Homo-oligomer: A and B are copies of this chain.
């Protein structure tokens, strides 16, 4: 149980809601194990200050993730990273990636890409992103 600094990147120009951006990144940190079980997250007020947003926005993030079972909060004490079962963690980890990939292939098929073209796009994306 220790307090930590959490490097959230906010994109103000994105159409994605603020609370969504924060949620997604925080979820990633938890399910990849970069934030360990029991870690004491910053208080909502503190986090709001460092993110330069409203406490309500942070509260919503914490609450949503608590509903997902990734956080545990105790009144008067703070908010902590919950215990995540190994199986659940693996499911969480692949769920977002799988959904995005299905969507990508779907939209490729919609505009008439062949399987070969899709494979090229995939290799291209892989190279672009994993060598950054």
Q: Does B126 lie within 8 Å of A118, measured CB to CB?
A: yes
User: In terms of DSSP, what is the predominant structure of the interface of chain A?
Assistant: helix
Q: How many identical subunits does the complex contain?
A: 4
CB 8 Å contact bits of A77-88 with B (1 = contact, 0 = none): 000000000000
Complex: A12 Cα to B98 Cα, angstroms? 22
Which residues in B have their C-beta under 8 angstroms from that of A121?
94, 97-98, 101
Measured CB to CB, the residues of A under 8 A from B are 12-13, 17, 24-25, 28, 31-32, 67, 72, 74-75, 92-94, 96-98, 100-113, 115, 117-119, 121-122, 124-126, 128-130
Known: A100-B108, A105-B122, A122-B122. 9 other contacts (CB 8 A): A24-B107, A67-B67, A94-B117, A94-B121, A98-B124, A100-B104, A103-B104, A109-B129, A118-B126
